[in-house]
Structure 1
Amino acid sequence: MSAACAATLLVIAKQPVPGRVKTRLTPHYTPEEAAALAEAALRDTLHTVARTPARRRVLVLDGVPGAWLPPGFEVVPQVSGGLDERIAAAFGLCDRGPAFLVGMDTPQLTADVVADAVRDPHDAWFGPAADGGFWALGLADPASAAALVRGVPMSTDRTGAVQRRRLVEAGLDVVDLPVLRDVDTPADALEVAACCPPGSRFAAAVSSFARAGR
């Protein structure tokens, strides 16, 4: 089995419910439209992961799954606590490594990027986000996540720098992945949609709302 096929792929996500997801997209988009964009981004992400060779595919979900969930995923509820605790717990689901975690905010992600990242053995993979956070974190030893992730300040413009420094200070060989932009604001939505591959559900949703005057 190749390194890519031996990896567990984790997606940490929130059920796309109006008023609970992508609230920074409002008032430019209505809460229902923001939730529709969140669902489209989640669908794109899950289908990308579904096309990537893996040993396991796990959706770590805040909420309940819907029709947007493709086959081939285990669904596990998120634990309570901050995002650092929830990420650490997600890695704790992996009985053996490596494990590679992504969120639902980068629908421009392609299967090739994920597969190439985990194809060669390394201690860690780090995907920086344009806003100073990170869109991906991979660990050859998932059991180390608790010590590496817990306590990292989340949702700040220094989250990525602090997380990467944790990896380096632990003596890990860190592979840096391409910088991607998260979808947080209406401007992000337009920019990310323009970068999505053909057939993107997210790009189609953004385009449909633009035609409606959004």
Structure 2
Amino acid sequence: MKVLLVAKAPVAGQVKTRLGAEVGAGRAAELAAAALLDTIEACREAGMEGHLSLSGDLAGAVRGEALAAALDGWTITAQRGDSFAERLVHAHDDAGHGVVVQIGMDTPHVTAEALTAAAAGLADHDAVLGPADDGGWWALARRDPDVVRHVAEVEMSTADTYADTRRALERAGCRVGSTGAMTDVDTVEDADRVAELAPHTRFARLWRSTARGGTL
């Protein structure tokens, strides 16, 4: 099994821009770096081979050295494509065939169990989607990277992205399963909820220190 992590290098002003509008671009980048480290740790605990599809450069990013160390042994490829959906298609091509669970860096509370559950759904389905509370999705598991080509027609980051992605895959003849829902961290309210759900994470610890520092 392989995990495909699609992420941006945590550089101020380039990640978590909605959250950054509320807490500041620098702190948002710090939170993104913590979330990415938490996600990488969950992937390692799941025992999956790691593949990072990266936008940007870790050199000069917040906690760049720590991230590079955490990614030791991973395959890292650069994202390419004009739209996010196109970048997803190329990322899956790079990851190749076999059981792949694709996730992002917006769910620092993800667990090894959640990742393996998404992969297990492929026993009866061609693809498995994990819904996000905002109408998007946090995970896409598949065996054949070609099924993801149908996702390129879907508009991302809307309240209907999960439903539209599922319909696109079903129109292509895929049997689509689902796995547990999660919260993407985009706003202060999201961050509060995720920090409560997973208080032990780097993200939660940093978020609590942000609140104590009076930044919110």
Same fold per superposition (TM over 0.5): yes
Structure 1 residue 74 displacement after superposition: 1.1
TM-superposed deviation, 1:119 = 3.1
Q: Which amino acid aligns with 2:24?
A: T
Q: Where does structure 2 lack aligned partners over 5 or more consecutive residues?
A: 59-63
What are the superposed Cα offsets for residues 93-120 of structure 1, whole Å, 9 maximum, x if unpaired?
1332121100000111101111122135
Partners of 1:50 and 1:72 within 8 A in 2: no
Rounded Cα–Cα distance in structure 2 between residues aligned with 1:22 and 1:80: 20
By how many angstroms is 1:27 displaced?
3.5
Q: Do the aligned residues in 2 keep the contact of 1:98 with 1:142 (CA within 8 Å)?
A: no
C-alpha displacement at 1:91, in angstroms?
0.7
Verify the 8 A CA contact 1:84 1:149 in the aligned structure 2: yes
Letter in 1 for 2:98: G
Which residue identity lines up with residue 192 of structure 2 in the other structure?
Answer: L
* 1-structure distance, mates of 2:117, 2:170: 21
> Equivalent residue for 1:123?
126
Native 8 Å contact 1:53 1:115 kept in 2: no
Secondary structure of the residue aligned to 2:26 is helix
| Pair 1:15 & 2:9 matched | yes
1:4 matched residue in structure 2: none
Quick check: 2:53–2:91 contact (8 Å CA) kept in 1? Answer: yes
Alignment of 1:108-119 (within 5 A): 108-119=109-120
The answer as to whether partners of 1:125 and 1:139 remain within 8 angstroms in 2 is yes
Letter in 1 for 2:34: A
**Hey, what does 2:100 align to over in structure 1?**
99
Distance 2:47 2:175 in 1: 23
1:82 alignment partner AA? S
Q: CA deviation at 1:51?
A: 1.5
Count of residue correspondences: 205
- How far 1:145 sits from its partner (Å)? 1.7
- CA separation in 2, counterparts of 1:24 and 1:95? 33
Aligned residue number for residue 36 of structure 1: 30
Identity of aligned residues (%): 40
TM-score norm. by structure 1 comes to: 0.90
2:52 matched to 1:59?
A: yes
User: Alpha-carbon deviations, 1:53-109, whole Å to 9, x = none?
Assistant: 22x310100011322231231111100311100111111013321211000001111
Segments of 4+ in structure 1 off by > 4 A? none
Give unpaired runs (5+ residues) of structure 1: 1-6
Please identify which structure carries the higher helix content.
2
Shift of 1:177: 1.0
Root mean square deviation, CA, Å: 1.4
Q: For 1:204, give the aligned amino acid.
A: R
Q: Which residue of 2 aligns with 1:169?
A: 171
C-alpha contact 1:98 1:140 (8 A) present in aligned 2: yes
Matched with 1:179 is 181
- Partner AA of 2:55 in structure 1: D
